[in-house]
Amino acid sequence: MKAAVILGTRPEIIKCAPIIRECQRLRQDYFVLHTGQHYSYNMDKVFFEQLKLPEAKYNLDVGSGLHGKQTGEMLIGIEKVLKQERPDVVLVQGDTNTVLSGAIAAAKLGIKIGHVEAGLRSYDRSMPEEINRVLADHCSDFLFAPTEESMQILIQEGIDRERVFMVGNTVVDAVRQNLKIANTEAQVFNRLGVEAGEYMLATSHRQENVDDKKRYAGIIQGLRRVQNEFGIPLIYPVHPRAKKQLNAFNLDTAGLKLVEPMDYLTFLQLESKAKLVLTDSGGVQEETCILGVPCVTLRDNTERPETLSVGSNILAGTEPPRILQAAKKISAKKAKWTNPFGDGKTGQRIIKVLIDRFS
Ligand code: UD1
Ligand code: UDP
Protein backbone atom coordinates (compact mmCIF):
# COMPACT_ATOMS: atom_id res chain seq x y z
CA MET A 1 0.00 0.00 0.00
CA LYS A 2 1.37 3.37 -0.98
CA ALA A 3 -0.18 6.43 0.65
CA ALA A 4 0.12 10.13 -0.13
CA VAL A 5 -0.47 12.48 2.80
CA ILE A 6 -1.49 15.90 1.48
CA LEU A 7 -1.33 18.82 3.89
CA GLY A 8 -0.80 22.56 3.79
CA THR A 9 -1.81 24.43 6.95
CA ARG A 10 -0.98 24.56 10.65
CA PRO A 11 -3.84 22.35 11.87
CA GLU A 12 -3.27 19.80 9.12
CA ILE A 13 0.39 19.42 10.05
CA ILE A 14 -0.56 18.90 13.71
CA LYS A 15 -3.41 16.48 13.01
CA CYS A 16 -1.61 14.51 10.26
CA ALA A 17 1.48 14.05 12.44
CA PRO A 18 0.06 10.94 14.20
CA ILE A 19 -0.70 9.37 10.80
CA ILE A 20 2.78 10.12 9.50
CA ARG A 21 4.30 8.72 12.70
CA GLU A 22 2.30 5.52 12.28
CA CYS A 23 3.49 5.17 8.67
CA GLN A 24 7.06 5.57 9.91
CA ARG A 25 6.57 3.07 12.73
CA LEU A 26 5.27 0.43 10.32
CA ARG A 27 7.81 1.33 7.61
CA GLN A 28 4.84 1.90 5.39
CA ASP A 29 5.37 3.24 1.86
CA TYR A 30 4.15 6.86 1.98
CA PHE A 31 5.10 10.38 1.06
CA VAL A 32 4.04 13.85 2.17
CA LEU A 33 2.94 16.55 -0.27
CA HIS A 34 2.81 20.06 1.21
CA THR A 35 0.81 22.56 -0.81
CA GLY A 36 2.51 25.55 0.84
CA GLN A 37 -0.83 27.09 1.79
CA HIS A 38 0.85 28.07 5.07
CA TYR A 39 4.49 29.07 4.69
CA SER A 40 5.53 31.53 7.43
CA TYR A 41 7.99 29.87 9.83
CA ASN A 42 5.58 30.08 12.78
CA MET A 43 2.64 28.68 10.77
CA ASP A 44 4.56 25.86 9.11
CA LYS A 45 8.20 24.80 9.68
CA VAL A 46 8.09 25.16 13.44
CA PHE A 47 5.53 22.33 13.58
CA PHE A 48 7.65 20.03 11.40
CA GLU A 49 10.60 20.69 13.69
CA GLN A 50 8.74 20.26 16.97
CA LEU A 51 6.79 17.21 15.90
CA LYS A 52 9.98 15.75 14.41
CA LEU A 53 8.34 15.18 11.05
CA PRO A 54 10.42 14.48 7.94
CA GLU A 55 10.48 17.28 5.41
CA ALA A 56 7.72 16.95 2.80
CA LYS A 57 8.88 15.14 -0.34
CA TYR A 58 7.07 17.79 -2.41
CA ASN A 59 6.27 21.39 -1.56
CA LEU A 60 4.16 23.24 -4.11
CA ASP A 61 4.81 26.66 -2.50
CA VAL A 62 1.38 27.84 -3.56
CA GLY A 63 1.09 30.45 -0.79
CA SER A 64 -1.81 32.85 -0.27
CA GLY A 65 -4.35 34.14 -2.76
CA LEU A 66 -8.01 34.28 -3.66
CA HIS A 67 -9.81 30.99 -3.07
CA GLY A 68 -10.11 30.09 -6.76
CA LYS A 69 -6.52 30.91 -7.60
CA GLN A 70 -5.12 29.18 -4.52
CA THR A 71 -7.25 26.06 -4.98
CA GLY A 72 -6.60 25.96 -8.73
CA GLU A 73 -2.83 26.21 -8.37
CA MET A 74 -2.86 23.46 -5.80
CA LEU A 75 -4.99 21.27 -8.05
CA ILE A 76 -2.55 21.67 -10.94
CA GLY A 77 0.48 20.95 -8.75
CA ILE A 78 -1.07 17.99 -6.94
CA GLU A 79 -2.22 16.38 -10.17
CA LYS A 80 1.35 16.43 -11.54
CA VAL A 81 2.74 14.74 -8.43
CA LEU A 82 -0.02 12.13 -8.23
CA LYS A 83 0.39 11.22 -11.89
CA GLN A 84 4.06 10.62 -11.29
CA GLU A 85 3.79 8.81 -7.93
CA ARG A 86 0.52 6.87 -8.48
CA PRO A 87 -0.23 6.20 -4.79
CA ASP A 88 -3.01 3.74 -3.90
CA VAL A 89 -4.64 6.28 -1.64
CA VAL A 90 -4.51 10.01 -0.96
CA LEU A 91 -5.13 11.15 2.62
CA VAL A 92 -6.46 14.64 3.29
CA GLN A 93 -7.40 15.99 6.72
CA GLY A 94 -10.02 18.57 7.65
CA ASP A 95 -11.64 21.29 5.56
CA THR A 96 -9.11 23.66 4.02
CA ASN A 97 -8.57 24.56 0.38
CA THR A 98 -5.68 22.09 0.47
CA VAL A 99 -8.18 19.33 1.29
CA LEU A 100 -10.52 20.31 -1.52
CA SER A 101 -7.79 20.41 -4.14
CA GLY A 102 -6.22 17.16 -2.91
CA ALA A 103 -9.56 15.38 -3.06
CA ILE A 104 -10.49 16.69 -6.52
CA ALA A 105 -7.06 15.95 -7.99
CA ALA A 106 -7.19 12.35 -6.72
CA ALA A 107 -10.82 11.84 -7.78
CA LYS A 108 -10.07 12.94 -11.35
CA LEU A 109 -7.17 10.47 -11.55
CA GLY A 110 -9.21 7.60 -10.13
CA ILE A 111 -7.02 7.41 -7.03
CA LYS A 112 -8.79 6.43 -3.79
CA ILE A 113 -9.29 9.18 -1.23
CA GLY A 114 -9.29 8.94 2.55
CA HIS A 115 -10.85 11.93 4.28
CA VAL A 116 -9.71 12.28 7.85
CA GLU A 117 -12.21 14.15 10.05
CA ALA A 118 -15.14 13.38 7.76
CA GLY A 119 -18.78 14.19 8.51
CA LEU A 120 -18.36 17.52 10.29
CA ARG A 121 -21.10 20.00 9.43
CA SER A 122 -21.80 23.56 10.59
CA TYR A 123 -24.68 23.79 8.09
CA ASP A 124 -23.38 27.27 7.31
CA ARG A 125 -22.53 27.44 3.61
CA SER A 126 -21.08 30.94 3.97
CA MET A 127 -18.00 29.31 5.52
CA PRO A 128 -15.45 28.25 2.89
CA GLU A 129 -14.65 25.30 5.14
CA GLU A 130 -18.22 23.95 4.97
CA ILE A 131 -18.09 23.80 1.17
CA ASN A 132 -14.70 22.11 1.31
CA ARG A 133 -15.76 19.44 3.78
CA VAL A 134 -19.02 18.57 2.01
CA LEU A 135 -17.28 18.24 -1.36
CA ALA A 136 -14.35 16.27 0.05
CA ASP A 137 -16.67 13.87 1.87
CA HIS A 138 -18.76 13.22 -1.21
CA CYS A 139 -15.82 12.26 -3.40
CA SER A 140 -14.04 10.17 -0.76
CA ASP A 141 -13.76 6.39 -0.61
CA PHE A 142 -12.69 6.13 3.04
CA LEU A 143 -14.52 8.52 5.34
CA PHE A 144 -12.79 8.60 8.70
CA ALA A 145 -15.45 10.02 10.99
CA PRO A 146 -14.28 11.11 14.44
CA THR A 147 -17.51 10.47 16.35
CA GLU A 148 -20.84 8.65 16.20
CA GLU A 149 -22.55 11.97 15.31
CA SER A 150 -20.31 12.64 12.33
CA MET A 151 -20.73 9.05 11.15
CA GLN A 152 -24.53 9.37 11.27
CA ILE A 153 -24.41 12.64 9.31
CA LEU A 154 -22.56 10.91 6.49
CA ILE A 155 -24.96 7.98 6.41
CA GLN A 156 -27.93 10.36 6.39
CA GLU A 157 -26.38 12.18 3.43
CA GLY A 158 -26.55 8.91 1.52
CA ILE A 159 -22.91 7.88 1.73
CA ASP A 160 -22.47 4.12 1.59
CA ARG A 161 -22.13 2.79 5.17
CA GLU A 162 -19.22 0.58 4.05
CA ARG A 163 -17.11 3.64 3.27
CA VAL A 164 -17.53 5.18 6.72
CA PHE A 165 -15.14 4.30 9.56
CA MET A 166 -15.59 5.73 13.03
CA VAL A 167 -12.03 6.05 14.26
CA GLY A 168 -11.88 9.04 16.64
CA ASN A 169 -9.98 12.23 15.93
CA THR A 170 -6.19 12.38 15.50
CA VAL A 171 -6.26 15.55 17.62
CA VAL A 172 -6.41 13.26 20.69
CA ASP A 173 -3.34 11.35 19.47
CA ALA A 174 -1.54 14.67 18.98
CA VAL A 175 -2.46 16.00 22.43
CA ARG A 176 -1.49 12.75 24.17
CA GLN A 177 1.76 12.40 22.22
CA ASN A 178 2.85 15.96 22.92
CA LEU A 179 1.41 17.25 26.18
CA LYS A 180 4.00 15.57 28.41
CA ILE A 181 6.82 16.95 26.28
CA ALA A 182 5.12 20.34 26.33
CA ASN A 183 4.89 20.38 30.11
CA THR A 184 8.54 19.49 30.65
CA GLU A 185 10.05 21.69 28.00
CA ALA A 186 8.93 25.25 27.84
CA GLN A 187 9.27 27.91 30.50
CA VAL A 188 6.30 29.58 28.97
CA PHE A 189 4.70 30.89 32.15
CA ASN A 190 7.85 32.74 33.23
CA ARG A 191 8.37 34.05 29.75
CA LEU A 192 4.87 35.48 29.56
CA GLY A 193 4.79 36.58 33.20
CA VAL A 194 1.69 34.52 34.06
CA GLU A 195 0.88 31.77 36.57
CA ALA A 196 -0.79 28.46 35.78
CA GLY A 197 -4.57 28.83 36.02
CA GLU A 198 -4.35 32.61 36.35
CA TYR A 199 -4.73 33.71 32.76
CA MET A 200 -7.00 33.25 29.75
CA LEU A 201 -6.11 32.39 26.18
CA ALA A 202 -7.81 33.53 22.96
CA THR A 203 -7.49 32.83 19.23
CA SER A 204 -9.51 34.13 16.31
CA HIS A 205 -8.77 33.79 12.63
CA ARG A 206 -11.92 32.66 10.86
CA GLN A 207 -12.56 34.51 7.60
CA GLU A 208 -16.22 35.29 8.41
CA ASN A 209 -15.08 36.84 11.71
CA VAL A 210 -11.85 38.71 11.14
CA ASP A 211 -12.58 39.91 7.60
CA ASP A 212 -15.82 41.53 8.81
CA LYS A 213 -15.21 44.78 10.70
CA LYS A 214 -18.34 44.61 12.86
CA ARG A 215 -17.80 41.01 13.88
CA TYR A 216 -14.07 41.37 14.55
CA ALA A 217 -14.58 44.60 16.50
CA GLY A 218 -17.24 42.76 18.55
CA ILE A 219 -14.81 39.95 19.31
CA ILE A 220 -12.02 42.31 20.36
CA GLN A 221 -14.38 44.32 22.55
CA GLY A 222 -15.79 41.12 24.01
CA LEU A 223 -12.29 39.87 24.88
CA ARG A 224 -11.45 43.21 26.50
CA ARG A 225 -14.62 43.06 28.61
CA VAL A 226 -13.82 39.52 29.72
CA GLN A 227 -10.26 40.54 30.60
CA ASN A 228 -11.53 43.51 32.57
CA GLU A 229 -14.17 41.49 34.44
CA PHE A 230 -11.87 38.57 35.33
CA GLY A 231 -8.87 40.81 36.11
CA ILE A 232 -6.26 38.31 34.88
CA PRO A 233 -4.10 38.43 31.72
CA LEU A 234 -5.68 37.43 28.42
CA ILE A 235 -3.08 36.15 25.97
CA TYR A 236 -3.97 36.33 22.29
CA PRO A 237 -1.59 34.76 19.74
CA VAL A 238 -2.57 36.53 16.52
CA HIS A 239 -2.95 34.49 13.32
CA PRO A 240 -1.50 36.27 10.23
CA ARG A 241 -4.95 36.79 8.67
CA ALA A 242 -6.16 38.38 11.91
CA LYS A 243 -3.01 40.52 12.19
CA LYS A 244 -3.64 41.99 8.75
CA GLN A 245 -7.27 42.75 9.64
CA LEU A 246 -6.45 44.20 13.09
CA ASN A 247 -4.26 46.73 11.31
CA ALA A 248 -6.71 47.38 8.48
CA PHE A 249 -9.61 48.03 10.90
CA ASN A 250 -7.37 49.82 13.41
CA LEU A 251 -9.02 48.05 16.37
CA ASP A 252 -8.16 49.00 19.95
CA THR A 253 -6.73 45.99 21.77
CA ALA A 254 -5.74 47.76 25.01
CA GLY A 255 -5.65 45.32 27.93
CA LEU A 256 -5.04 42.25 25.75
CA LYS A 257 -1.66 40.55 25.59
CA LEU A 258 -1.07 40.21 21.85
CA VAL A 259 1.69 37.80 20.81
CA GLU A 260 2.86 36.13 17.60
CA PRO A 261 1.38 32.73 16.64
CA MET A 262 2.91 30.18 18.99
CA ASP A 263 4.68 26.90 18.43
CA TYR A 264 2.57 23.85 19.28
CA LEU A 265 4.26 22.80 22.53
CA THR A 266 4.03 26.29 23.98
CA PHE A 267 0.43 26.71 22.87
CA LEU A 268 -0.59 23.29 24.19
CA GLN A 269 0.98 23.99 27.55
CA LEU A 270 -0.73 27.37 27.81
CA GLU A 271 -4.03 25.90 26.70
CA SER A 272 -3.88 23.07 29.24
CA LYS A 273 -3.43 25.43 32.21
CA ALA A 274 -5.69 28.29 31.12
CA LYS A 275 -8.63 29.33 33.27
CA LEU A 276 -10.66 29.82 30.13
CA VAL A 277 -10.14 29.75 26.36
CA LEU A 278 -12.03 31.91 23.86
CA THR A 279 -11.72 30.92 20.23
CA ASP A 280 -13.20 30.50 16.77
CA SER A 281 -10.76 27.70 15.93
CA GLY A 282 -12.01 24.19 15.25
CA GLY A 283 -8.97 22.43 16.66
CA VAL A 284 -8.93 24.57 19.79
CA GLN A 285 -12.59 23.70 20.56
CA GLU A 286 -11.56 20.04 20.45
CA GLU A 287 -8.31 20.41 22.39
CA THR A 288 -9.93 22.33 25.27
CA CYS A 289 -12.55 19.59 25.51
CA ILE A 290 -9.81 16.95 25.69
CA LEU A 291 -7.75 18.98 28.19
CA GLY A 292 -10.68 19.72 30.55
CA VAL A 293 -10.51 23.47 29.97
CA PRO A 294 -13.73 25.50 29.49
CA CYS A 295 -14.15 27.08 26.07
CA VAL A 296 -16.18 29.97 24.68
CA THR A 297 -16.65 29.76 20.93
CA LEU A 298 -16.76 33.08 19.12
CA ARG A 299 -19.12 31.85 16.42
CA ASP A 300 -22.84 31.37 15.83
CA ASN A 301 -22.52 27.68 15.03
CA THR A 302 -20.06 24.83 15.31
CA GLU A 303 -19.32 21.65 13.41
CA ARG A 304 -18.10 20.23 16.74
CA PRO A 305 -21.50 19.86 18.51
CA GLU A 306 -20.06 17.10 20.72
CA THR A 307 -18.25 19.80 22.71
CA LEU A 308 -21.59 21.53 23.38
CA SER A 309 -23.31 18.28 24.39
CA VAL A 310 -20.63 17.29 26.89
CA GLY A 311 -20.61 20.85 28.26
CA SER A 312 -17.00 21.89 27.60
CA ASN A 313 -17.95 24.59 25.13
CA ILE A 314 -20.52 27.33 24.73
CA LEU A 315 -21.44 29.28 21.60
CA ALA A 316 -21.25 33.03 22.12
CA GLY A 317 -21.28 34.64 18.68
CA THR A 318 -19.43 37.93 18.33
CA GLU A 319 -21.47 40.44 20.37
CA PRO A 320 -19.54 41.69 23.45
CA PRO A 321 -22.32 41.22 26.06
CA ARG A 322 -22.89 37.63 24.96
CA ILE A 323 -19.18 36.87 25.01
CA LEU A 324 -18.93 38.14 28.59
CA GLN A 325 -22.04 36.27 29.68
CA ALA A 326 -20.78 33.03 28.13
CA ALA A 327 -17.36 33.43 29.75
CA LYS A 328 -18.91 33.87 33.18
CA LYS A 329 -21.29 30.97 32.72
CA ILE A 330 -18.78 28.40 31.50
CA SER A 331 -15.98 29.33 33.88
CA ALA A 332 -18.32 28.84 36.86
CA LYS A 333 -18.78 25.19 35.85
CA LYS A 334 -16.73 22.22 37.05
CA ALA A 335 -14.63 20.82 34.20
CA LYS A 336 -16.13 17.33 34.44
CA TRP A 337 -16.92 15.93 31.07
CA THR A 338 -15.90 12.96 28.97
CA ASN A 339 -13.76 13.49 25.90
CA PRO A 340 -15.89 12.46 22.88
CA PHE A 341 -13.02 12.42 20.36
CA GLY A 342 -11.51 8.99 21.02
CA ASP A 343 -8.66 7.26 22.77
CA GLY A 344 -5.60 8.63 20.98
CA LYS A 345 -5.18 5.64 18.64
CA THR A 346 -6.89 7.18 15.62
CA GLY A 347 -3.73 7.37 13.49
CA GLN A 348 -3.13 3.65 14.02
CA ARG A 349 -6.74 2.78 13.13
CA ILE A 350 -6.66 4.79 9.91
CA ILE A 351 -3.50 3.13 8.66
CA LYS A 352 -4.82 -0.31 9.64
CA VAL A 353 -8.01 0.21 7.63
CA LEU A 354 -5.93 1.12 4.59
CA ILE A 355 -3.43 -1.71 4.97
CA ASP A 356 -6.26 -4.23 5.37
CA ARG A 357 -7.89 -2.92 2.21
CA PHE A 358 -4.84 -2.63 -0.03
CA SER A 359 -2.47 -5.35 1.10
C1 UD1 B 1 -6.83 28.49 6.47
C2 UD1 B 1 -8.07 27.64 6.25
C3 UD1 B 1 -8.87 27.56 7.53
C4 UD1 B 1 -8.02 27.08 8.69
C5 UD1 B 1 -6.77 27.94 8.80
C6 UD1 B 1 -5.86 27.37 9.83
C7 UD1 B 1 -9.08 27.68 4.01
C8 UD1 B 1 -10.22 28.18 3.20
N9 UD1 B 1 -8.92 28.21 5.22
O10 UD1 B 1 -7.27 29.80 6.77
O11 UD1 B 1 -9.93 26.65 7.35
O12 UD1 B 1 -8.77 27.16 9.86
O13 UD1 B 1 -6.07 27.97 7.54
O14 UD1 B 1 -5.01 28.30 10.40
O15 UD1 B 1 -8.37 26.82 3.56
N16 UD1 B 1 -0.67 34.12 5.88
C17 UD1 B 1 0.62 34.39 6.25
N18 UD1 B 1 1.46 33.34 6.42
C19 UD1 B 1 1.09 32.06 6.24
C20 UD1 B 1 -0.23 31.81 5.84
C21 UD1 B 1 -1.10 32.84 5.67
O22 UD1 B 1 1.02 35.53 6.44
O23 UD1 B 1 1.90 31.14 6.43
C24 UD1 B 1 -1.63 35.25 5.74
C25 UD1 B 1 -1.76 35.78 4.33
O26 UD1 B 1 -1.95 37.16 4.42
C27 UD1 B 1 -3.03 35.14 3.83
C28 UD1 B 1 -3.87 34.99 5.10
O29 UD1 B 1 -2.92 34.80 6.14
O30 UD1 B 1 -3.67 35.88 2.85
C31 UD1 B 1 -4.85 33.86 5.06
O32 UD1 B 1 -4.23 32.61 4.75
P33 UD1 B 1 -5.07 31.41 4.08
O34 UD1 B 1 -4.26 30.18 4.06
O35 UD1 B 1 -5.67 31.84 2.81
O36 UD1 B 1 -6.28 31.21 5.05
P37 UD1 B 1 -6.31 31.05 6.63
O38 UD1 B 1 -7.08 32.20 7.18
O39 UD1 B 1 -4.97 30.77 7.16
N1 UDP C 1 -2.09 26.42 17.59
C2 UDP C 1 -0.73 26.63 17.77
N3 UDP C 1 -0.29 27.91 18.00
C4 UDP C 1 -1.13 28.96 18.07
C5 UDP C 1 -2.52 28.74 17.87
C6 UDP C 1 -2.96 27.45 17.62
O7 UDP C 1 0.06 25.69 17.75
O8 UDP C 1 -0.67 30.09 18.28
C9 UDP C 1 -2.56 25.05 17.29
C10 UDP C 1 -3.64 24.50 18.21
O11 UDP C 1 -3.09 23.83 19.29
C12 UDP C 1 -4.43 23.58 17.30
C13 UDP C 1 -4.24 24.18 15.91
O14 UDP C 1 -3.15 25.09 16.01
O15 UDP C 1 -3.88 22.29 17.27
C16 UDP C 1 -5.49 24.90 15.45
O17 UDP C 1 -5.23 25.58 14.26
P18 UDP C 1 -6.10 26.79 13.72
O19 UDP C 1 -6.84 27.41 14.83
O20 UDP C 1 -5.18 27.64 12.92
O21 UDP C 1 -7.07 26.10 12.67
P22 UDP C 1 -8.49 25.33 12.78
O23 UDP C 1 -8.36 24.24 13.77
O24 UDP C 1 -9.52 26.35 13.14
O25 UDP C 1 -8.72 24.85 11.39
Considering the domain architecture, whether residues 251 and 132 belong to the same structural domain is answered as no
Considering the domain architecture, whether residues 350 and 325 belong to the same structural domain is answered as no
**111: CA distance to ligand 1 center in Å?**
27
Considering the domain architecture, whether residues 244 and 160 belong to the same structural domain is answered as no
Closest listed residue to residue 211, CA positions, set 324, 316, 314, 66: 66
The predicted-structure confidence for 302-318, as pLDDT tens digits, reads as follows 999 999 999 999 999 99
Tally of domains in the chain: 2
For residue 186, is pLDDT > 80?
no
What is the C-alpha separation between 299 and 212, in angstroms, rounded? 13
What is the C-alpha separation between 135 and 140, in angstroms, rounded? 9
Residues with Cβ within 8 Å of 91's Cβ and at least 6 positions away in sequence, in order, are: 3, 4, 5, 6, 16, 19, 113, 114, 116, 350
- Ligand number nearest CA of 15 is 2
State whether the beta carbon of 287 lies less than 6 angstroms from ligand 2.
Answer: yes
Mean pLDDT, rounded, of the chain: 97
| Residue 174 within a domain | no
From edge to edge, which strands make up the β-sheet containing 313-315?
A: 257-259, 234-237, 200-203, 276-279, 295-297, 313-315
Asked whether the whole model's pTM tops 0.95, one would answer yes
Which domain does 257 fall in, by range?
188-331
Closest listed residue to residue 17, CA positions, set 278, 326, 265: 265
What is the C-alpha separation between 260 and 207, in angstroms, rounded? 18
The predicted-structure confidence for 61-120, as pLDDT tens digits, reads as follows 999 999 999 999 999 999 999 999 999 999 999 999 999 999 999 999 999 999 999 999
Considering the domain architecture, whether residues 297 and 148 belong to the same structural domain is answered as no
Local confidence band at 190 (pLDDT 50, 70, 90 cut-offs): confident
Q: Output the residue whose Cα is nearest ligand 1's atom 17.
A: 240
Local confidence band at 183 (pLDDT 50, 70, 90 cut-offs): confident
Q: Output the residue whose Cα is nearest ligand 2's atom 7.
A: 264
Closest listed residue to residue 352, CA positions, set 19, 15, 13, 16: 19
**337: CA distance to ligand 1 center in Å?**
32
Q: Output the residue whose Cα is nearest ligand 2's atom 19.
A: 281
The predicted-structure confidence for 123-153, as pLDDT tens digits, reads as follows 999 999 999 999 999 999 999 999 999 999 9
